[in-house]
Amino acid sequence: MSGRSVSTVHSPHVLDFISHSVAQTMRIGQRLGELLRRGDVVALRGDLGTGKTHLIKGIVLGLGSTDVVNSPSFVLINQYRAGAQHGRMPIYHADLYRIERLAELPGIGLEEALDDDGVCLIEWAERAEALLPDERLDVHLSHLSETKRVVRFTPHGRRYEELVDTLKKTAFT
């Protein structure tokens, strides 16, 4: 994968990528998706237009799914199916952009998705902070320029530290 990894002072496990295009953001997501397994939670954060949905498209592709990925802004949660190499596990894609208060979350299916044995991908995760598991992977996307994005992976818990370390080693091969 072309792109540049940027070191950071926060933690040896935090990883920053600079993505130069939508295609590269999707490739970063694909590499991440290849590493995900049942029960993993990825919490995506970032302003509108930073590439959260494109990253998720890549993750879903990396999980071997052939499903079409669309932002579930109106239905709030879409479900896809991983490919055979990932046991056809469910992939939950939540978009919480329209959620304004924590009280709106019960009943949309997020808690069930988090408790399931699939992968849970949550856009605008900060709107459900109280429901997020302590162990998860936070991904923050931010604008660097009109076409460039910083994609920061911050692991919470040993599983996700190992995942980010593996991503560091495999991202440029």
Distance CA 139, CA 16 (A): 10
Residue type, 65: S
Q: pLDDT 10s per residue in the chain (173 long)?
A: 444 444 444 567 899 999 999 999 999 999 999 999 999 999 999 999 899 999 999 999 999 999 988 776 566 889 999 999 999 999 999 999 888 888 788 878 888 888 888 999 999 999 999 889 999 999 999 998 888 999 999 999 999 999 999 999 886 55
| pLDDT at residue 2 in the model | 41
Indicate the pTM of the whole model.
Answer: 0.89
Closest CA to 133 of 115, 153, 158, 152: 115
| pLDDT at residue 7 in the model | 40
Any idea which fold 37-165 has? Rossmann fold (3.40.50)
CB 28 within 8 A of CB 151: yes
